[in-house]
Amino acid sequence: MSSPHIVIAGGSSGIGLATARRLLANGSRVTILGRSPERLQAARALCEGALQTVVADAADSRGIGAIFADLGPFDHLVLAFGSGRGVGPFATVDLADVRQGFEEKVFPHFGCAQAALPHLAREGSITFVSAVSAHAAVPGTAGIGAANAAVAALVPILANELRPLRVNAVSPGVIDTPWWDFMPDDQKAASFADFGGRTPVGRVGQADDVAQAIAFLVHDSFMSGHVLVCDGGLRLSA
Ligand SMILES: NC(=O)c1ccc[n+]([C@@H]2O[C@H](COP(=O)([O-])OP(=O)(O)OC[C@H]3O[C@@H](n4cnc5c(N)ncnc54)[C@H](OP(=O)(O)O)[C@@H]3O)[C@@H](O)[C@H]2O)c1
């Protein structure tokens, strides 16, 4: 049997890159998509195995269809890109920023999954990356939480509608990735110390913690319709 071909949209950094490394180590063929050629090149240097990199903007619904067609058939799709927009107290968060969050995460996840369908193996899978903000009740996360909840809401519907294709998601907690680089280093260290202290396992997550959960959902042919929260228990005490 040939190795499965797995496409990771948002695979040049953080959770997507850790997932690529883990799946490559399992012998899969992996294609990672990202907008920056430099980031893709840097990611390539960190990977061993049958890796292909493709410059692509997952938010460009027409372009992404052509890219999937060029890739040919593949077995699994992982959607590991997102947005940091829509954070702030409900009373004052800027609606335009919330809308931008939906534009950067919800519609591209929807459009990318839709564009991949003609090329995905019938018994393959789609794994979305949502976030714990979809499930926890943290003040100040109504905007970003709503966008991530919209992604999570796709899972049971698509798992039923697209059967036998399997559809799942992971919802990460606070994970130490470049997603947090908008913060100065000292502020990031203080935030991680605070989140780590509130997390039952006593630390923030690493990208590979989430990659393990994604690899499980990709490989286990009995998992479908599931949103796996991978947060060290943060949702219980956030
Ligand atoms: N880190 C956390 O604490 C955390 C917590 C909960 C949920 N999440 C979710 O986890 C996912 C991954 O986050 P991360 O922490 O791994 O972030 P990251 O390190 O910033 O990686 C994001 C990746 O997505 C790519 N990307 C972004 N927009 C894209 C687009 N339109 N088309 C193609 N590729 C795109 C980026 O490359 P380019 O910029 O070059 O395109 C990069 O490879 C996101 O959905 C995020 O919301 C993260």
Please state the domain extents for the chain: 5-227
Mean pLDDT rounded to a whole number for the chain: 97
Query: pLDDT tens digits, residue range 207-221?
Result: 999 999 999 999 999
Q: For ligand 1, is residue 232 a contact (CB within 6 Å)?
A: no
Q: What residues contact 183, with CB distance under 8 A and at least 6 apart? A: 191
> What is this structure's pTM?
0.98
Q: Stretch 184-208: mean pLDDT, rounded?
A: 97
Pick the atom of ligand 1 nearest to 39's CA: 40
Q: Is the dihedral of CA 38, 105, 91, 133 positive or negative?
A: negative
Q: Is 12 in the pocket of ligand 1 (CB under 6 A)?
A: yes
pLDDT digits (tens, 9 = 90+) for 59-95: 998 899 999 999 999 999 999 999 999 999 999 999 9
If you classify domain 5-227 with CATH, what class do you get? alpha beta
**Peptide bond preceding 164 in cis form (omega within 30 of 0):** yes
Is the pLDDT at 1 greater than 70, yes or no? Answer: no
Q: Encoding tokens for residue 179?
A: 């997603």
